[in-house]
Amino acid sequence: MARRGNNFQASNKIGLIVALAVFVAISAAGAKQIVSATNTQLDAVQRDPEATSALSAPSSGFENYLLVGSDSREGADPNDADFATMGNESDVSGRRSDTVMVFHYDQATGAGALLSFPRDLWVRIGDGENSARINTAYQEGSDVLVRTMQNNFNIPIHHYLEINFQGFKGLVDAIGGVQICVQYPSRDKNTGLYMTPGCNTLDGVEALAFARSRYFETKIDNEWKIDGTSDIGRGKRQRKFIAAMLNSGLTRVLSNPFTVSSAFEGVTGAIITDNNLDLAEFAKKMRPAAKGDISRFSLDVYSDTVAGNSILRLGDGSAAVLAFFGGLGPAPEPEAGD
């Protein structure tokens, strides 16, 4: 069996969290009516009692937030520019977790850290009745996904936050797009992505195509060459996108604070949280992320097969990272920034 260490970075679904953090960062200097409008929108966020029922009791000194990016096509419009590659609820039924990550908050220092979990990671689902890829746990219920995380990785989950594809696209458009620079012509025929060499300002549809890309190709010496690393490359591109989105969002809002409210319009309907999550307080804890000041960690994984299907398993190098996120050990060395 061939072992390898893979880096899977924080996902694109952090977008809403970035917007919240940006809002809190500037709200003290913003107009009172902006704060009021945004609070009204936050009150409309959906709550999930099932996820709430599975959460851990409070831990001493830290909090863990489970952040989920759903691939639900709920709300998809046939007039959407990416409808042909995305489809709707009848084409892609049910919901799966396209992205799973944990945000760890140190209550004493205010430091934040992010850990993402590759969706092909093989785990025991829920209370251990059967095994499957981690992204299938969500199909059985948000409470099953919470228990899957807690039981497989010994990480207490104190809060739950989910955003779907439609919400992500809306947020990117609300901040005026995100600039991504590439050296060569780039594409993914599966997601509909195409980028010219140089810097491209991606709208919501293009940004989602970039972040979802698993068959990314670059044209070098007049030949299209595919990135054979699949989810490894996908994670790196998502990391690049997050950094650019942080910068774009903060710059846009600071230059015009009145865009804060519009950044939430149409997005909050795509958000689901546990019953107890105070989004304004959570945003304060995420404020360093708006400035790029947050530690990122990856899991050591290796390739394997089950019934002829490719999967990933945890490697021994994951122990220290999981101990830290579980409150059982010191912080290991984080990943180097780009």
Walk me through the domains of the chain, giving residue ranges and CATH numbers: 12-175+257-325 (3.30.420.590)
> pLDDT-based confidence at 232, cuts 50/70/90?
low
Give the pLDDT mean for 230-251. Answer: 70
| Helices and strands per DSSP (H, E), number in the chain | 11, 17
- 125-150 per-residue burial string, b: 16 or more CB within 10 A, e: under 16: bbeeeeebbbbbbbebbbbbbbbbbb
Looking at residue 5, what is its pLDDT?
42
Angle at 202 between CA 235 and CA 76, to 5 degrees: 85
Lowest-pLDDT range of 55-69, 99-113, 193-207: 99-113
Residue 92 clears pLDDT 80, i.e. is over it: no
Per the model's pLDDT, the better-predicted residue between 100 and 280 turns out to be: 100
Selected residue with higher pLDDT from 120 and 166 = 120
Confidence of residue 10 (pLDDT cuts 50, 70, 90): very low
Average pLDDT of the chain, as a whole number? 78
Give the helix, strand, coil percentages of the chain, each rounded to 5. 40, 25, 35
- Per-residue model confidence as pLDDT tens digits over 269-289: 667 899 999 877 887 787 776
∠ CA(324), CA(156), CA(309), 5° rounding?
Answer: 85
Inform me whether the pLDDT recorded for 71 exceeds 50.
Answer: yes
Contact of 68 with 97, CB cutoff 8 Å: yes
- Whether the model pTM is above 0.85: no
| Contact of 143 with 51, CB cutoff 8 Å | yes
